[in-house]
Amino acid sequence: MNKKFIRALCFASLVCLNMTAAQAQSPPAEKVLRYAFPISETGFDPAQLSDLYSRIVTANVFDALYGYDYLARPVKIRPNVADGMPVISNDFRTYTVKIKPGIYFADDPAFGGKKRELTAHDFVYSYKRFFDPVTKSPTYSDMEEEKLVGMDALRREAEKPGARFDYDREVEGVRALDRFTIQFNLQETRPRFIYSMADAGVLGAVAREVVEKYGDKIMEHPVGTGPFKLDQWTRSSKMTFVKNPNYREVFYEADPAADDARSQEIYRQMKGKRLPMVDRVEVSIIEENQPRWLSFLGQEQDLLERLPNAFAYQAIPNNRLAPNLLKKRIGMERVPNPDVTVTYFNMEDPVVGGYTPEKVALRRGIALAYNSEEEIRLPRRNQAIPAQGPIQPTTYGYDPKFKTEMSEFNRARAGALLDMYGYLDRDGDGWRDLPDGKPLLLQYATQPDAASRELNEIWKKNMDAARIRIEFKTGKWPEQLKAARAGKLMMWGLGYSASSPDGGGALGLAYGPGKGEGNLARFENAELDRLYQQQQLLPDSPERLALMQKIVRIMVAYMPYKFSTHRILTDMTQPWLLGYRRHPTAREFWQYVDIDMAQRVR
């Protein structure tokens, strides 16, 4: 054989061997979960958030005491950083929780270069922050309802001129019995208090050192003990999160129902894997429907959370996956969402607000003139069902047989009601005027995306038919939310998602003490407040259900909100995204999914 050929062959073999060795030594490709939010985030401080998308982030960065089994249906609570289930007194007024030792926050300069262990004191501090007036927490009214002994007094002290909230004063309502034991003492019976302890997006533990270091910038510095930490952030554009190196050893465990074949298969595939399974999560903000849809089709996104309604007939004709998507082995999950879409009326607005008969008649007339079925058929492409009130599907208290006037569309009745109370065309221009002769003009806050524009068209069409002028004030979601909390919007349409399996939380939309926080309509009614407090004390029972329905009927009668629909959501996944299921309540799903890198490369 030619010597030059032999030398060349040996050299080539050596190169191949060296390449193989180098490949063997190179680290595995990074697993990256990529998907998009349709709405901008507002920030990452759990105590200051009320929007869904920011809470999705915080649920994956912070840890609550308890969480939800990812695959169990109906939902099941299980310990997270708690060491076992709480010890609960017979009257449901004392909850004592042990915390697992050896859980650490992600590294941050606030800790001075030391590893910082999670303790009971962190949860005490985190709960107290909701009561600090400086925090201006939109969840304050919800926390106030829990009746933590001594917390209201601490807040009242802090509200005095020149006073500050005393975080160091021990209160009976939430205190650390020792380094790893926290106890909650409640003024009243609270059978569902454990749901509060299971919401990582809101009640995840924050460290005092971090809050004090970053001050007004705390919304930009989420530091938790959860599976991920913030790596990069371009506001309203893109967020990148990486695996938290300090995250404890957690392995995939679940208890799927025996008759849930899909969840059973996911469990067989994932059981025993260490969490999280992905190394990185990239979340883009793509507000317009078409670019978000095309980004998924172009494989730039692994998950399409919430298929835009505009593409429902194209992607899921007859609510089944289209043949072209089946060929690509796209996955689909279609579920009723525990949410409700609403338009609220600002009860303090001089046009649509107020409690006198003519003001109530105006809101009821507007609601009767609005065709929710048309909204479902056109902009929502039949991906929703009519709402009878605020209580969301899959939550306790929702009854599909319960009917109210809320879903009624009756243009003739609306016109007669408005005529009766003096909303007539007094100047002959074809539009209704106020009873005092001034022009009647509705100002409806909205967003600049295509989906909002389609919904605006339904409102415009229906109000034109009722001879009511309406104009739209467009703004970005965070700005509209800020204005809504301040009581500066007349009307705004948005959605409310359940944060627990209990439908009673949705009734808080009309609870007086939550005015300007959860209660954006700023509605006040003493009878409703009394019933609301009463049903909160009761265990789940027919008696509680009856009270919940009374509250709904008061809301229908005064109409501070026009409840329109409950959405049906369709999520889509690329074939290489493994283990995804939409949980009815929990938002912390990043750690439960995996990426098949071989499939992605193919």
Task: Please say if the pLDDT value at position 48 is more than 90.
Answer: yes
Task: Please say if the pLDDT value at position 100 is more than 90.
Answer: yes
Task: Please say if the pLDDT value at position 109 is more than 50.
Answer: yes
Task: Please say if the pLDDT value at position 17 is more than 50.
Answer: no
At 235, the amino acid letter reads R
Is residue 297 within 8 Å of 36, Cβ to Cβ? no
Q: What is the per-residue pLDDT for 26?
A: 61
Q: What is the per-residue pLDDT for 508?
A: 94
Q: Considering the chain, what is the average pLDDT of its residues?
A: 94
Mean pLDDT, rounded, for 53-57: 95
Q: How far apart are CA 552 and CA 587, in angstroms?
A: 27
User: For the chain, first and last CA: distance in Å?
Assistant: 41
- Say which DSSP state 391 is in: P
Mean pLDDT, rounded, for 561-567: 97
Residues 6 or more apart whose Cβ sits within 8 Å of residue 33: 278, 280, 281, 282, 302, 303, 577, 590, 593, 595
594, β-bridge pairs: 578
Domains identified in the chain and CATH numbers: 43-221 (3.90.76.10), 339-568 (3.10.105.10)
What number of other Cβ atoms are within 10 A of residue 160's Cβ? 8
With pLDDT > 90 as the criterion, what percentage of the chain qualifies?
Answer: 90
Give the pLDDT confidence of 450-488 residue by residue, as tens digits. 899 999 999 999 999 999 999 999 999 889 999 999 999
Helix (H, G, I), strand (E, B) or coil at 524: coil
Task: Please say if the pLDDT value at position 256 is more than 90.
Answer: yes
Mean pLDDT, rounded, for 249-266: 97
Return the axis-axis angle of helices 411-420 and 357-369, rounded to nearest 10°: 160
Indicate the burial class of 575 (C-beta count within 10 angstroms; 0-12, 13-18, 19 or more).
Answer: middle
Closest CA to 196 of 151, 130, 116: 130
Q: How far apart are CA 131 and CA 186, in angstroms?
A: 15
Q: What is the per-residue pLDDT for 9?
A: 41
Task: Please say if the pLDDT value at position 25 is more than 70.
Answer: no
Is residue 191 within 8 Å of 539, Cβ to Cβ? yes
Mean pLDDT, rounded, for 547-556: 97
Task: Please say if the pLDDT value at position 23 is more than 60.
Answer: no
Task: Please say if the pLDDT value at position 5 is more than 80.
Answer: no
Task: Please say if the pLDDT value at position 20 is more than 90.
Answer: no
Q: What is the per-residue pLDDT for 516?
A: 87
Closest CA to 209 of 99, 125, 131: 125
At 18, the amino acid letter reads N
Q: What is the largest CA-CA distance in the chain?
A: 109
Task: Please say if the pLDDT value at position 28 is more than 90.
Answer: no
Q: What is the per-residue pLDDT for 10?
A: 42
Give the pLDDT confidence of 154-169 residue by residue, as tens digits. 999 999 999 999 999 9
Q: What is the per-residue pLDDT for 271?
A: 98
Q: Can you point out the beta strands (E) in 399-539? A: 441-446, 469-474, 491-497
Q: What is the per-residue pLDDT for 16?
A: 43
Give the pLDDT confidence of 413-455 residue by residue, as tens digits. 999 999 999 999 999 999 999 999 999 999 999 999 989 999 9
Tokens at 200, concatenated: 């990582």
Q: How far apart are CA 99 and CA 82, in angstroms?
A: 4
373 or 517, higher pLDDT: 373
Tokens at 476, concatenated: 């970005």
Can you give the three-state secondary structure of 452-501, one letter per residue?
HHHHHHHHHHHHHHCCCEEEEEECCHHHHHHHHHCCCCCEEEEEEECCCC
Task: Please say if the pLDDT value at position 11 is more than 80.
Answer: no
Tokens at 67, concatenated: 């969480």
Give the pLDDT confidence of 325-349 residue by residue, as tens digits. 999 999 999 999 999 999 999 999 9
Tokens at 283, concatenated: 């979340």
